[in-house]
């Protein structure tokens, strides 16, 4: 089996979990998915694919802004990726840019926690 496939599955899970947590915190005013798990799972898949292909290109193109902001511009990039998923997948409704930024921050935090847990398990 390809060694990249389990990593992609973990990214998919993290993106879906982060979207669900962000939608739970913000509520239906900011992020609305119709209370359907299918929407979160498909949106997580799209976000994982976008983060794998489009996000690296955007990061390279915005490298000066990232360096000048000491990395804080990555929060904007994460929000833009979430907003892009919302535009591509109409079942996921993100009402404004700030909700997308918050969702990107939550997904980043969930990704950090999952990575830290997995790294700790492999180091033992």
Q: What's the pLDDT band for 106 if we cut at 50, 70, 90?
A: very high
pTM score, whole prediction: 0.90
The pLDDT of 45-74, averaged and rounded, is 96
pLDDT at 1 over 80: no
The pLDDT of 73-78, averaged and rounded, is 96
3-state secondary structure the chain: CCCHHHHHHHHHHHHHHHHHHHHHHHCCCCEECCCCHHHHHHHHHHHHHHHHHHHHHHHHHCHHHHHHCCCCHHHHHHHHHHHHHHHHCCCCEECCHHHHHHHHHHHHHHHHHHHHHHHHHHHC
**How high is the mean pLDDT of the chain?**
92
Q: What is the per-residue pLDDT for 4? A: 82
């Amino acid at each position: 089996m390809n060694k990249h496939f389990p990593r992609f599955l973990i990214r998919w899970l993290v993106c879906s979990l982060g979207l669900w947590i962000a939608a739970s915190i913000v509520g239906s005013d900011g992020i609305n998915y119709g209370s359907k798990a299918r929407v979160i799972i498909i949106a997580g898949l799209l976000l994982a694919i976008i983060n794998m292909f489009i996000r690296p290109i955007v990061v390279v193109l915005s490298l000066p802004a990232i360096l000048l902001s000491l990395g804080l511009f990555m929060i904007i990039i994460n929000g833009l990726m979430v907003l892009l998923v919302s535009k591509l997948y109409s079942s996921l409704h993100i009402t404004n840019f700030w909700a997308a930024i918050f969702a990107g921050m939550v997904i980043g935090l969930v990704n950090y926690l999952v990575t830290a847990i997995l790294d700790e398990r492999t180091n033992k």
